[in-house]
Amino acid sequence: MDLALSPEHTAFRDEVRAFIADALPPHLREKAATDAHFEHHEVMEWHRILYRKGWAAPHWPVEYGGPGFDVTRRFILQNELEHANTPGLSPFGLNMVGPAILQFGTEDQKRRFLPKILAGEEVWCQGYSEPNAGSDLASLKTRAEDAGSHFVVNGQKTWTTYAQFAHWIFCLVRTDPRAKKQSGITFLLIDLKTPGVTVKPFLTIGGTPAFSETWFDNVHVPKQNVVGPVDGGWTVAKALLGHERTGIASVGSTGRTIRTCKQIAARTRVDDRALIDDPVFRGKIARLEIRLRSLQMANWRALAGAQHGKSPGPESSILKIRGSELLQQSFELAMELMGHDALAWFPEPGAVLDVERSIASLFCYLRATTIYGGSNEIQRNIIAKHILGLG
């Protein structure tokens, strides 16, 4: 497999780098340089900048506002954005419900929702997991009862990331309680301003208000908000999760964290010698780089498949497992290299921190990467069944 970029793609990579250098505002560039946390309004500021450039949704069709990039240009753009540590756009609208509406939605739904998702005028969150339906998502209990022109929704969702900032939530709800677990589930779009919806944020162990609990108490939802067929939401959900799992590979983020490990090791001295010169730590860094390279190769294989029109399939579970584990391992090494300095924490809300000051918080938050998008244990079951043909 030839991994060299064509002259056209090399020119595009240079264009992306020049755009980021010119368009990223100074206050966001300062945070990017130190791996600091971006607030929601800063993420949306960058979203609008990319939207004006036409790059907010590089994978969307041209007729719905996409730039018409081939898969290699999409890969290059994402890789360069991650490499520069620009604010990561919320995936729930652009990468999840947007593609679901494109694939399964009606023309009215496409006209109503897609332009506002693209422009960042409406922010979305995900309503999948419940207190007793996490990895076993098909056990969900939130129900939607048919009331003629609308459904009446009752139940609870958890881990609804940044729901406190969202305008809409896409939910899996049970519409036929008598059907088997994967059946009788419907994909429903719910306006969070609807009476009966309650959103309550809670802190992660990393000290960030990333997650929320969301309750539905006799919430009326129009039937035109169903995406795909009633009782056919499991098919929509599986297609959506394939795209999410591919994105969790996080090649750019892991590469940046490994570079941070090198920086920490270069300036941390023990017995008058930098840790970067310690063969034990050099070996640990080298092993991470080898694993990252293999993950990059797997990403390129997925990219080659996409060039031939192949959608993400069960192989996306491989990217999810290896990518999430490698990201965690890179932060584990950063914590080890920092020693007692890894106990530093956010001194005050909104502070711009040196990268070492945020390592502990990110380390804690990223324990979730092996859980969200379908836990890694579930992904191994998918690989065994659909790739290895076992069971």
pLDDT at 240: 77
pLDDT at 344: 64
User: Which ranges in the chain are annotated with CATH 1.20.140.10?
Assistant: 248-387
Entry pTM:
0.85
Superfamily of domain 7-89 in the CATH hierarchy: Acyl-CoA dehydrogenase/oxidase, N-terminal domain (1.10.540.10)
**Residues belonging to the active site:** 244
pLDDT at 219: 98
Other residues' Cβ atoms within 10 Å of the Cβ of residue 62:
10
pLDDT at 353: 45
d(CA 221, CA 35): 40
CATH of the structural domain 248-387, one choice from 3.40.50.150, 3.30.70.260, 3.30.420.60, 1.20.140.10: 1.20.140.10
| CB 43 within 8 Å of CB 89 | yes
Hey, what's the torsion of the CAs at 26, 27, 31, 37, to 10 degrees?
Answer: -150
d(CA 232, CA 186): 6
From first to last of the 391 residues of the chain, give the pLDDT tens digit: 555 778 999 999 999 999 999 999 999 999 888 777 799 999 999 999 999 999 999 989 999 999 999 878 988 898 899 889 899 999 999 999 999 999 999 999 999 999 999 999 999 999 999 998 877 788 999 999 999 999 999 999 998 999 999 999 999 999 999 998 889 999 999 999 999 999 999 887 777 788 999 999 999 999 999 999 999 999 998 887 765 555 556 777 888 889 989 989 998 888 889 999 999 999 999 999 999 999 888 877 776 666 666 666 677 788 889 999 999 999 999 999 988 878 765 544 544 445 566 788 888 888 888 887 778 888 899 889 888 888 6
pLDDT at 92: 94
pLDDT at 74: 87
User: Which ranges in the chain are annotated with CATH 1.10.540.10?
Assistant: 7-89
User: Which ranges in the chain are annotated with CATH 2.40.110.10?
Assistant: 124-233
pLDDT at 312: 60
CATH of the structural domain 124-233, one choice from 3.40.50.300, 2.40.110.10, 3.40.50.12780, 3.40.190.80: 2.40.110.10
